[in-house]
Amino acid sequence: MSLLEVRHLRKSFGGVHAVQGVSLDLAAGEVLALIGPNGAGKTTTFQMLGGQLRPDAGRVRLGGRDVTGLAPRQLARLGVGRTFQIAETFTSFTALANVQMALLAHDARHWRFWRRADGYRMPDARALLAQVGMAEQADRPCSELAYGDVKRLELALALAGEPRLLLMDEPTAGMAPAERVALMQLARTLAKERGIAVLFTEHSMDVVFGQADRIAVMVRGELLAEGAPEAIREDARVQAAYLGVQSHQNGSGSRLSGKGLEPKTLEKPPSEAKPLLTVRELHAWYGAAHILHGVSFDVRPGEVVALMGRNGAGKSTTLKSLAGLLARTEGELRFMGQDVARWPAHRIARAGLGYVPEERRIFGDLTVLQNLETGRQPPRAWPDGTPLAAWTIERLFALFPNLREMPDRLGARMSGGEQQMLTVARTLMGQPCLLLLDEPSEGVAPVIVQQMAQAVRALKAGGLGIVLSEQNLAFAEAVADRAVVIEQGRIVHEATMAELAADTQARRRYLGVT
């Protein structure tokens, strides 16, 4: 008997038919991957199963009980755990306190405001953190954690509720390749040992094909195919709609594969060109924690510099420091010939430095066009007075054709990949001369990764300087000129991107990629 039975689920948003008659079964101890292009309806399906959305039609049964339309807290009481595409934690609390809060909620304990809860089930909380590899981070505030670590913490929070069914939406987003596999191996082991049914969405194909017992593929709100991993890999319909031709040909099934991600011979910027950005001896802190230690590099017009390194190495912190988003930094930052080291974030942005955060941060209650308008700034010129080609709505739609098809769609009704495109487009409306891109290929389908690579190449060809923080080596190899590898907040290796991609020893040592 199936633990989870889903029958003919439907959900529409106005004229958008997000989910159209989806039916699934999932047994206790089984791991089922739900995959598909961005906008296929995966997250909407998850939200209906998790109680965030009520289906327009269809039924959901858990352990034989009809749970259709129940609220998330009711489902949690019945044994449904959930992790989210964008991690949900208390950022000002430590990792340990977050788990203790989850345990309090699970135990339905009521605490008056004058009673302290920081000692509640501490051994159990620490054990849960140890299970997901977060024991050493237990006493750090979530605001100081790398995004991949936050995702691991979120798994611990879900496990605190002792779930029978675990819904995991993009569980490995923001994690290095080896960490992705390790996390899902852990989830798979727990599923088998505890009889937990696991349903997860994921764009990392090495995780999907390596860890799922079965795979279901959604396209345009409908189930396209369902079956064992090898059968799905060989399905021509799935290859055309989602995996891409090259992923099938090389048989890897990896998110690092796909037509359009081949390394390109890119025209290198002239070495004599003055840097757009000069970074010297950059130090940065989160509170008392010293994160960056003397980071230095340059970026020239038309050059893409990839910041590489393992999860938590300091890549995102570097980008936030350059954008003026950290309270405490030291070092030299010169942008377009100006010393911007002490400038606030808004002034740096107005000077022409654009920042695309990993978390996207679009306005969910605004349409695509309205989101774009929030980023609008006047056209600007290079330091020598040459005007930049102005970014307009039409030019952005040419760069991201997917957005052209949904100008009036609310941000909250867009898929993760569509939101990623919108975030980049909104930043370009600020007419930047230099762009900071934090994990642009993360959490999006292989076909969208290809489109994002094409967009980065187009921006580079237009003369923009780009600093790219990226875990996806193939994506970085396809677009970057140089690689700067960071480890524990220090630069440990610098090379051209082609040299790093060809250096097996350096890749294994610094990136954990063979």
Which is it for strands 197-201 and 31-35: parallel, antiparallel or unpaired?
A: parallel
339 is written with which tokens? 């010393």
Q: Does residue 292 belong to any structural domain of this protein?
A: yes
| Domain-terminating residue out of 230, 259, 288 | 259
What value does the mean pLDDT take over residues 171-187? 80
Which pLDDT value is given to residue 514? 59
Phi first, then psi, for residue 120 (nearest 5°) are -70, 120
Residue type, position 160, single letter: A
Q: Are residues 356 and 303 in the same domain?
A: yes
Of the candidates 202, 124, 201, the one whose C-alpha atom is nearest the C-alpha of residue 160 is: 124
Residue of 483, 479, 499 lying closest to 491 (CA atoms): 483
CB neighbours of 442 closer than 8 A, spacing ≥ 6?
Answer: 173, 174, 358, 420, 471, 472
| CA–CA distance, 196 with 27 (Å, rounded to integer) | 9
Q: What secondary structure letter does DSSP report for 32?
A: E
| Range of the structural domain that residue 135 is part of | 90-161
Indicate the residue among 109, 139, 161 that finishes a domain. Answer: 161
**Domain assignment of residue 194, yes or no:** yes
CB 267 within 8 A of CB 479: no
Structural domains of the chain, count: 3
Q: Residue holding tokens 């994690």?
A: 175
Q: How high does pLDDT run on average in the chain? A: 86
Region 167-190: mean pLDDT is 82
321 part of a folded domain = yes
Average pLDDT rounded to a whole number, residues 177-186? 82
| 382: amino acid identity, one letter | W
User: Are 156 and 177 members of one domain?
Assistant: no
Mark whether 156 and 220 lie in a shared domain. Answer: no
Q: What is the pLDDT of residue 457?
A: 92
Q: Which among 32, 446, 439 is positioned nearest to 456, based on CA atoms?
A: 439
Rounded CA separation 227/204 (Å):
18
Q: Is residue 31 part of a domain?
A: yes
Confidence grade of residue 266 (pLDDT, cut at 50, 70, 90): very low
State how far the alpha carbon of 194 is from the alpha carbons of 1, 30, 31, 33, 124, in Å.
17, 11, 12, 19, 17
Bridge partners, residue 437, by sequence: 356, 468
> Given 259, 294, 317, which residue is the final one in a domain?
259
- Are 113 and 180 part of one and the same domain? no
Same domain, 176 and 31: yes
Q: What is the pLDDT of residues 207-227, one digit of tens each?
A: 899 999 999 999 989 999 999
Which is nearest to 62 in space by CA: 196, 221, 161?
196
Total-model pTM: 0.65
- pLDDT one-digit tens code per residue, 72-111: 989 999 999 988 766 678 888 899 999 998 898 888 775 5
Q: Tell me: do 351 and 320 sit in the same domain.
A: yes
**128 and 55 part of one domain:** no
- Report residue 22's pLDDT band, with 50, 70 and 90 as the boundaries: very high
Residues 95 and 241 grouped into a single domain: no
Helix (H, G, I), strand (E, B) or coil at 151: helix
Dist. CA 269–CA 355, nearest whole Å: 22
Q: Which residue type is seen at 43?
A: T
> Measured between alpha carbons, how far is 20 from 490 in angstroms, rounded to an integer?
50
Residue at 264 is within a domain = no
418 and 375 housed in the same domain: yes
Instruction: Categorize the per-residue pLDDT at 45 as very low, low, confident or very high, splitting at 50, 70 and 90.
Output: very high
Please tell me the predicted confidence (pLDDT) of residue 349.
94
pLDDT computed for residue 174 by the predictor: 66
Task: Check residue 451 and give its pLDDT.
Answer: 82
Residue from 246, 247, 245, 166 nearest 200 by CA: 166
488 versus 446: the higher-pLDDT residue is 488
Say whether both 394 and 416 belong to one domain.
yes
- Predicted local confidence at residue 36, as pLDDT: 87
User: Do residues 83 and 112 touch, judged by C-beta distance below 8 A?
Assistant: no
Question: For 224-251, what is each residue's pLDDT tens digit?
Answer: 999 999 999 888 888 877 765 444 333 3
Confidence bin at 446 (pLDDT 50/70/90): confident
User: What is residue 422's predicted lDDT score, i.e. its pLDDT?
Assistant: 94
Q: What is the pLDDT of residue 452?
A: 86
Contact 67, 61 (CB under 8 A): yes
Q: How far apart are CA 393 and CA 408, in angstroms?
A: 13
Task: Report if residue 268 sits inside a domain.
Answer: no
Residue 33 has pLDDT above 90, yes or no: yes
Window from 200-214, 250-264, 418-432 with minimum mean pLDDT: 250-264
pLDDT at 322: 96
pLDDT of residue 80: 94
Which residues are CB-contacts of 83 (< 8 A; sequence separation ≥ 6)?
A: 151, 154, 155, 157, 158, 166, 167, 168, 169, 171
Range of weakest confidence among 163-177, 263-277, 436-450: 263-277
Q: In terms of pLDDT, which residue wins out, 262 or 476?
A: 476
Convert the pLDDT of each residue in 296-353 to its tens digit: 999 999 999 999 987 778 999 999 999 999 989 999 999 999 999 999 999 999 999 9
Q: What is the largest CA-CA distance in the chain?
A: 71
Residue 269 forms part of a structural domain: no
| pLDDT above 90 coverage of the chain, percent | 53
pLDDT at 220: 87
Question: Band of the pLDDT at 180, cuts 50, 70, 90?
Answer: confident
Confidence (pLDDT) at 252: 37
Same structural domain, 112 and 243: no
271 found inside a domain: no
**156 and 172 inside one domain:** no
Tell me the per-residue pLDDT of 277-286, one tens digit each, with 9 for 90 and over.
999 999 999 8
CATH for 26 = 3.40.50.300
In the DSSP assignment, the letter for residue 167 is: E
Q: What is the pLDDT of residue 339?
A: 96
Q: What is the pLDDT of residue 111?
A: 54
Which pLDDT does position 312 carry in this prediction?
Answer: 76
pLDDT in tens, 462-489: 899 999 998 888 889 999 999 999 998 9
Percentage of the chain lying above the pLDDT 70 cut? 91
